[in-house]
Amino acid sequence: MSNTNRRKYSTGNDEEKMRRSSGLSNHPNIRSDAYPLVETEIMQQEMNYTNLAYTEDYREDFEEQNDSKTVYSDALSFLSARTHGASKDIPISDIEDDQQSSQSELDLSRTTTDVRSVAASLSNKMASLSRSKTTLFSKRLKDERKKVILEFCFINLTFACVIFILFSIFWGNVYKSDSHFDKVNYLAVIQDDIVDQSIIPVIPMTDIIPSLISKIPGNWHIYNTSTFSEKFHVNTTEEINVRITDLIYQEKYFVSLNVQPNVTLQLYKALFENSSDTFLPSAYFEAIYESGRDPVNLKKWILTHVQTLESDFGTYYTSTYFPQFLANITSIADNSLNITRVPEAGQMTFTFTDYRKFYAIILFCTTQFGPVYTLVLTAFQFFIFGPAHAEMARVLQPRYMFVYRFCITALNCMVLSLFICTVSAIYQVDFTLAFGRAGFIIYWMSNWLYMFSCAGATENVVSLILLVRPPFIPIWMITFIILNLGPSYFTMALDSNFYRYGYAMPLHNIIDILRVIFFNTSRHKMGRNYGILVAWIVINTTLCPFIIKFVGKTLRSREMAAAKAVKDGTK
């Protein structure tokens, strides 16, 4: 403060004379208008001194604070001098200019104690500006409690909708699965079992198989030699056997039962002709499947019905057919029965052949759980890069922001997918089963496409959620995971038709690709799998610039509205 301003607070004999002449020295109840000016000045200096302590330019303004404290001290001295009339040589003319007509109402009764009380009161008021805590049921928290209750109800209502909708979708994958076995295709080829009744007076043992199959769930396709040869254009037994295996590999059927020809005749020869080999039922009844096609569901749910058929047919064979066979044959046979071969021939079992084995439990991590964790990781990488994206959005034009986002996401997904593939390599997972040495590169690029397709969808949706209600971002994540996981983890053959949307989900397609890489299953779906992943990338990339533009426009309009509201509030 300048010296001129300081002189305004001085006093002297002229002031004493003016007070006496005005007749106000004996009126202690008359309050002076000069004191509010001094109090205002003290308040201003006190607030400046307090605020400066919280600014970054504190050191640069240190000298200003000292000046302010000096003025504060001078003002107190002035008030003390005025009340005691101790000063006699300080002019009052400057104060008269500022106060004009109010000088005639000076209050001479204010004491030094009053001035100190004013200063203490100001300090207490400054200290009371800090927020104080209170109890939970304080009357001051009425509005806050109401807000919390409303928020509690809204959030739980939202979670109720999420649970009832999303969890129901996941639960529905396995609800009444037994009622959907009519969509599971089974193949049964019962090659001709020709019996000459004049030599072997028994019925063929395979005649009962169709009636047993009719009692077992599933969509069974039953053929004999002639009907199978006509449909699939094969002739010999060897061609039939090869064709059955190919049908399983091409995923036309989940499981097949192949019964070799002339089973009853082979049983007769084994028991009554020493030149024949021992009759082993498992050599004539073969069930073929591929567990690598569906490691989770095939053995537990689908193959069990063929095992049930084995059990039912074995019970019929050992308790009914085989005793009757021995009784009928021994009554007319010229050759004696080979008793040593009876025990082996009397036990009916099937051979179960797994042509694409799920050979290592660690492959659950690679083909089942790994893609799910990768899906979650695509969201995390966007959240971690969020501050960088926001900073670039302030300085880049929309079209360049789109190019930046596309390049960063593509490059980041490529690097992260390499890390994921490297973990599988560290644990010595075999990549060469289907594609040889190129298996690792195919595995890497497939994971990259999968991550890129999921990352694009997550970035677009999260960008919109940030405009509405950012805390709901986890709801999107669990929604996206459940929509992908349900039709992918459980076989869609046992689901209702609603879950056919899973064919278009990224997780289902990457799992199909990984099963080809690690189990060498059929490749006939790989074109569709890669096409769907690329389609996700194209759609997300096409939507991205429009979403960036919309988000930017919305944020700018909100900033303008907020600035206008602040401006209107200051008027």
Q: Give the tens place of pLDDT for each residue, 451-479.
A: 999 999 999 999 999 898 888 998 999 99
Whether the per-residue pLDDT at 382 is higher than 60: the answer is yes
Asked if 120 and 143 sit in the same domain, the reply is no
Question: Pick the residue with more confidence: 480 or 91?
Answer: 480
Asked if 183 and 161 sit in the same domain, the reply is no
Asked if 273 and 382 sit in the same domain, the reply is no
Given this model, what pLDDT does residue 96 score? 46
Given this model, what pLDDT does residue 125 score? 56
Two structure tokens written together for 160: 């109720």
Given this model, what pLDDT does residue 409 score? 93
Q: What number is the average pLDDT over the span 159-188?
A: 90
Asked if 299 and 436 sit in the same domain, the reply is no
pTM of the model: 0.73
Two structure tokens written together for 504: 């278009």
Given this model, what pLDDT does residue 104 score? 46
Provide the domain count of the chain. Answer: 4
At residue 501 the predicted structure's pLDDT band, cuts being 50, 70 and 90, is very high
Inside any domain, residue 321: yes
Q: What is the chain's mean pLDDT, rounded?
A: 80
Given this model, what pLDDT does residue 29 score? 40
- Tens digits of per-residue pLDDT, 527-543? 999 999 999 999 999 99
Question: Pick the residue with more confidence: 81 or 123?
Answer: 123
Given this model, what pLDDT does residue 72 score? 46
Between CA 276 and CA 272 the distance in angstroms is 9
At residue 225 the predicted structure's pLDDT band, cuts being 50, 70 and 90, is very high
Given this model, what pLDDT does residue 130 score? 58
Inside any domain, residue 134: no
Distant-in-sequence contacts of 428-434, Cβ < 8 A, 24+ apart: 429/360, 429/362, 429/363, 429/366, 429/518, 430/518, 431/517, 431/518, 433/517, 433/518, 433/519, 433/520, 434/516, 434/517, 434/518, 434/519, 434/520, 434/523
Asked if 318 and 290 sit in the same domain, the reply is yes
Inside any domain, residue 472: yes
Given this model, what pLDDT does residue 432 score? 93
Two structure tokens written together for 475: 């709801």
- Tens digits of per-residue pLDDT, 542-563? 999 999 889 888 988 988 888 8
Whether the per-residue pLDDT at 146 is higher than 80: the answer is yes
Spatial CA neighbour of 384 closest among 409, 404, 403? 409
Given this model, what pLDDT does residue 429 score? 94
- Tens digits of per-residue pLDDT, 3-24? 444 444 444 444 444 444 444 3
Whether the per-residue pLDDT at 94 is higher than 50: the answer is no
Q: What number is the average pLDDT over the span 71-75?
A: 46
Q: Which of 354, 382, 415 is the last residue of a domain?
A: 354
Between CA 34 and CA 30 the distance in angstroms is 12
Lowest mean pLDDT among 9-13, 47-51, 160-164, 537-541: 9-13
Q: What number is the average pLDDT over the span 440-456?
A: 96
CATH number of the domain where residue 240 is located: 3.40.1710
Asked if 182 and 276 sit in the same domain, the reply is yes
Q: What number is the average pLDDT over the span 378-407?
A: 88
Two structure tokens written together for 492: 């869609």
Asked if 76 and 209 sit in the same domain, the reply is no
Whether the per-residue pLDDT at 92 is higher than 90: the answer is no
Asked if 338 and 378 sit in the same domain, the reply is no
Asked if 424 and 282 sit in the same domain, the reply is no
Asked if 368 and 304 sit in the same domain, the reply is no
Inside any domain, residue 132: no
- For residue 164, the enclosing domain spans 139-168
Asked if 443 and 383 sit in the same domain, the reply is yes
Count of beta carbons in the 10 Å neighbourhood of residue 149: 10
Whether the per-residue pLDDT at 268 is higher than 90: the answer is no
Asked if 197 and 122 sit in the same domain, the reply is no
